[in-house]
Structure 1
Amino acid sequence: MNTKSNWKCKAMSTREVGTNYEVLAEQYLKERGLLPLARNQRVHHAEIDLILKDGQYLVFVEVKYRRNQHFAKVLEQLRVSQLERIKYAARAWMASEKLIEHRTYCRFDLIIITGEPFHIEWFKDAF
């Protein structure tokens, strides 16, 4: 009798790992009084990880995760082109929601999650 199982444990994709940490970041921000509006909003080649409301501010959040803190500084890894794509996606999302850009207070925040067990850093108005 063959007792060897054909079942294999499927490793999580990079996207699934990212989604898990975005959910963690969203929960962290909810606990601090922000109201979630949307997650993973894609426009062409740009994506906004989280969109929340903080008082009068519409907050667009980029979430970054690194397994350990020995990896290059996360802030140094953000490229100008990536930040421009996030801003482009924010404008497109606002237009789809019929929000007027020059009449809406906006902020771009960064959540960095590092380590196992994890450590969360929140940078308000990061870019």
Structure 2
Amino acid sequence: MSRKDMGDHGEQVARALLEQNGLQFIMSNYSCDMGEIDLIMRDGDCWVFIEVKCRSDEHFATVVEQITPAQCQRIRRCAQLFLLQQELNEHVTPMRFDVVAIVIDYDQAQWLQDAF
């Protein structure tokens, strides 16, 4: 499986998991100059920005350990721009940043709410 195929598969698995738990899909692969957000969803009135991490195994590090502080900062900046484009104020708009970690070899998905 190519890296892109693995990423696409991971996003499909993550979206299905989140929709099963009541989140509403808004868009995938939001991109701006600062980076990309894998999934944007709503949980009631809360905007949820989701980083999907998909790996075939965890031999070197867990999937969650592979998320860097710099990556979190890029996602936060992208989310701010997204909210501005929606004409929403980031200071009063409820939002959170979740991670869905998928390990393909174990057919395992872990959803971490408010991860960063």
| Corresponding residue of 1:42 | 31
**In 1: Cα distance, 2:32 partner to 2:2 partner:** 21
SS for the counterpart of 2:105 is coil
Percent identity over paired residues: 38
Name which one, 1 or 2, has greater alpha-carbon Rg: 1
Moved over 6 A (4+): none
Residues 36-95 of structure 1: CA deviation (Å, up to 9, x unaligned): 001000111410000000012110000001111323122222111111000011011111
Please list every run of 5 or more consecutive structure 1 residues that lacks an aligned counterpart in the other structure.
Answer: 1-11
Out of 27, 32, 45, the residue aligned to residue 21 of structure 2 is 32
**In 1: Cα distance, 2:2 partner to 2:103 partner:** 18
- Report the count of equivalent residues: 116
**In 1: Cα distance, 2:97 partner to 2:34 partner:** 18
SS for the counterpart of 1:98 is coil
Q: Is the 8 A contact 1:41 1:49 kept in 2?
A: yes
Cα gap change, 1:93 to 1:73, in 2 (>3 Å): same
Amino acid in structure 2 at the alignment position of 1:89: C
Normalised to the residue count of structure 2, the TM-score between the two structures is 0.92
Out of 77, 84, 102, the residue aligned to residue 88 of structure 1 is 77
**In 1: Cα distance, 2:104 partner to 2:41 partner:** 25
SS for the counterpart of 2:21 is coil
SS for the counterpart of 2:48 is strand
The answer to whether 1:73 aligns with 2:62 is yes
Residue range with higher mean Cα deviation, 81-90 or 71-80? 71-80
**In 2: Cα distance, 1:126 partner to 1:52 partner:** 15
Q: RMSD value over aligned CA atoms? A: 1.4
Give the drift of 1:117: 4.7
Please list every run of 5 or more consecutive structure 2 residues that lacks an aligned counterpart in the other structure.
Answer: none
